[in-house]
Chain A
Amino acid sequence: MKFTIKKGDLVDVLSKVQGLTGRRSSLAITECIRMHASDRQVHLTATDLETCFEGSLDASVEMPGTIAISARKLYEIAREFPSSDILIDETENRWINISDQKVHYHLMGMNTEDFPETPTFEEVALFELPSADLKKMIEKSIMISGVGEDKKPHINGVLFERLTDQEPRRVRMVSTDGSRLSKYDLFCPDEAQVPAGPSVLIPKKGLHEVSKFIGGSGTVRVGIQESYFIIKNDADTLAIRMLEGQYPQYGEIIFREDGHAIRMEKEPFHNMLKRMSILCTDSYRAAIFTFDDGVLAINATNPDIGESREDMIIDYSGEKIEAAFNPKFFMEALNGVEDEFLVLNIVSDKKPCLIDGSEDKSYVSALMPMRV
């Protein structure tokens, strides 16, 4: 096998797959990228056995063939390569040369036959979504992730739904870590032909790769086939093996009629939370929120350090409610709101508090209080 490839193209692709190849799997060869040269193209494959990347690059191929080479080392070499064209050829016994006139690397590849089989998708029913919007939806959803050794599918995965019977049609992602939850709706453009289909669970790890994979402009095509969630742009495909499991009934958490809706300016509230989180530590995370006639008081007491307190005028006239929250979770929920004003909905210290924008209702967070 022997081909010459553009440095820029190669570095670009390799940077996208580092997350996949850097993840430890049960097979050593998954740290490699497989390169298959034929005609005028090189096909690239990388996988961590859950998420699989496939792409192709133009190249001038002198002799077809396949190699598997450490994605990390190839990336480092390509990134520092002095010339814009890189010649890659396999000599014998899986020895690979990476060179130009002056630079020469001689690397041991791995046996391509050991490379795990990757799914092939020919006739997937894909629908188009704007890249930037999808990226934003994913980033907001994976912000909430589980801690410790939790292996529950509804915590490791994001729920992906297609609400084709609603007007406007939308796709939705729901994410939770067990104590908080977020829901984001992406309204589909009219021309997007979103087919109806079941709700699925996509692992957050895989979505992390997707957020790196999609650019900030244009569109990507998205689809579901068998047990895979697929995202395609012009040259590359990413396929994520979906999780199996039940998702909890999230509707009753975020759609509710009771509670006090309090409209607040986001920025000052965020600053207040920042100040009140200074005394919170890993072992002591609670701040007590007291909603009283016209005032919200936040009080953080840390037995190891001391205490802090701040009042803010709010538009509230119900009975006094006292509930403890982790201010860090609260700030993260606020970060998802893009409006200048937000609406905070509180019922009691036993029920989740809801936060969304005053105008934009596409993003909602629910946050469970702490028990003191």
Chain B
Amino acid sequence: MDMDAFFASVEQLDDPALRGRCLVVGGSHRGVVAAASYEARKYGIHSAMPIFQARLKCPHLVIVAPRRRRYAELSGRIMDILRTFSPLVEPISIDEAYVDISGCQRLHGTAHETGLAVKTRIREQTGLTSSVGIAPNKFLAKIASDFNKPDGLTIVTPEQMPLFIETLAIEKVPGVGAQTRQRLTGMGIQTLGQILQWPEQQLVRKLGKFGYRLMALAQGRDNTPVVCESEAKSVSSETTLEQDTADHAVLAVCLLAQSETVARQLRAQHLRARTITLKLKTTDFVQHTRSHSWPQPIQSSDTIYQATLRLLTAFALTQPIRLIGVGAGNLIPENMPVQQALFADEQVRHRQQWEQLDRALDAISERYGRGSVVRGTLAETGRNDKKQ
């Protein structure tokens, strides 16, 4: 399931004056288009396009600032609707999800009937349109959901699969980017079906491990299961900065906000983490990660912040940073038995006190809304989007 021009559609839904108009959501973030309405797409405007360029293409373009909280709220409702069809729902982004409906025929009818029911229920309950693709595996379902957009419903039955693959443009296949596509064009491959004309070994020699994957996909084999989100393996928060920076102080403020987000997610899911990872992407798009592990699992935002800050300080900032993020891994449920220490440890006591403070803040936020109490550092920069 893939929502149609999600952010733009939400804006048009909430403000009738915007309906039928060329609209993009974006602006605040690096000045690029986050989503474009179908009216705007007719002018060749698409996501990730710089705003100024979009303006050139369509002078009467309306630009709306994103309201992420509203999108998240609707996304949550849509995911809940999907879960009424099957417990196996895997959200892949705010507006896309895989749903495993195998074995649900007696409940929901044929694939076609199920697909229609999903679309109808989403439209009735949110007022938004979606596109659905139904296929024997995940990768074809994703491609099918992209067909006949907006308000599309595309079904690829096992019998239709070989023909569908034979004519499927190779650039539609997930994982085929500009480079791979160029290489494949060089080999005379335009559609996924043409992959089958090549021996697997040769594909692997030219494309590396991805060659195996492409061959499998060309044969219609994709066994990746639909995984529900409940089994979190890691919790993370990352931000692409508005401007690349090597300013330690600016980055530290980001880390503080992200550490709080990660710690809040850990607490919400009753988890503790044994490993914290700092992720940095430099201006040249190279990604760097640095990790720290504890013998005992941790949870407090301050512990996470102090650890990531140490990792950041140890990292030689020779280039400006484009993206910064904090991740927590090695997650252990809170109620898991924990080895006690022989000696009273000042650090451990300190950590426990911070955890207590975090919990008190959670309680305040729950009662008076998030942002009712924030750290001084974050309040100053207004980073908590508490305007709402």
Q: Smallest CB–CB gap between B349 and chain A, Å?
A: 14
Is residue B343 contacting chain A, with contact meaning CB distance below 8 A?
A: yes
Which B residues between 277 and 323 are near A, CB-CB below 8 angstroms? 292-295
Which B residues between 331 and 345 are near A, CB-CB below 8 angstroms? 332, 336-343, 345
Q: Is the CB of A352 within 8 A of B342?
A: yes
Q: Closest residue to B294 on the A side, CB-wise?
A: A148
Instruction: Kindly list chain A residues whose C-beta atoms are within 8 Å of the C-beta of B336.
Output: 283-284
Q: Smallest CB–CB gap between A15 and chain B, Å?
A: 33
Instruction: Kindly list chain A residues whose C-beta atoms are within 8 Å of the C-beta of B339.
Output: 179, 285, 326, 368, 370-371
Which A residues between 278 and 316 are near B, CB-CB below 8 angstroms? 283-286
Q: Closest residue to B293 on the A side, CB-wise?
A: A148
How far is A149 from B276 in the complex, measured between Cα atoms in Å? 13
Instruction: Kindly list chain B residues whose C-beta atoms are within 8 Å of the C-beta of A142.
Output: none
Selected contact of A285 from candidates B295, B337, B341, CB within 8 Å: B337
Interface size on B, residues (CB 8 A): 14
Q: Closest residue to B330 on the A side, CB-wise?
A: A283
How far is A148 from B275 in the complex, measured between Cα atoms in Å? 10
Q: How many A-B residue pairs have CB under 8 A?
A: 50
Q: Mark A343-372, 1 if CB is under 8 A from B, else 0.
A: 000000010100000000000001011111
How far is A372 from B292 in the complex, measured between Cα atoms in Å? 25
How far is A283 from B295 in the complex, measured between Cα atoms in Å? 12
Known: A178-B342, A180-B342. A286 touches B337 (CB 8 A): yes
Q: Is the CB of A369 within 8 A of B295?
A: no
How far is A235 from B292 in the complex, measured between Cα atoms in Å? 44
Q: Smallest CB–CB gap between B355 and chain A, Å?
A: 14
Q: Is the CB of A179 within 8 A of B340?
A: yes
Which B residues between 52 and 79 are near A, CB-CB below 8 angstroms? none
How far is A284 from B338 in the complex, measured between Cα atoms in Å? 9
Instruction: Kindly list chain A residues whose C-beta atoms are within 8 Å of the C-beta of B343.
Output: 178, 248
Q: Is the CB of B342 within 8 A of A366?
A: yes
Q: Mark A152-181, 1 if CB is under 8 A from B, else 0.
A: 000000000000000000000000101111
Q: Is the CB of B341 within 8 A of A147?
A: no
Is residue A52 contacting chain B, with contact meaning CB distance below 8 A?
A: no
Q: Closest residue to A148 on the B side, CB-wise?
A: B295
Instruction: Kindly list chain A residues whose C-beta atoms are within 8 Å of the C-beta of B332.
Output: 283
Q: Smallest CB–CB gap between B225 and chain A, Å?
A: 19
Q: Closest residue to A329 on the B side, CB-wise?
A: B339
Q: Is the CB of A178 within 8 A of B337?
A: no
Q: Mark B102-141, 1 if CB is under 8 A from A, else 0.
A: 0000000000000000000000000000000000000000
17 contacts between A and B (CB under 8 A): A148-B293, A149-B293, A176-B342, A178-B342, A178-B343, A179-B342, A248-B342, A248-B343, A283-B336, A284-B336, A284-B337, A286-B337, A350-B340, A368-B339, A368-B340, A368-B341, A368-B342
- In the complex, the 4 A-B pairs of residues with the closest C-beta atoms, listed nearest first: A286-B337, A370-B337, A248-B343, A368-B340
Known: A149-B292, A324-B337, A368-B341. 17 other contacts (CB 8 A): A147-B295, A148-B293, A148-B295, A176-B342, A178-B342, A178-B345, A248-B343, A283-B332, A285-B337, A286-B337, A368-B339, A368-B342, A369-B340, A370-B339, A371-B337, A371-B338, A372-B337
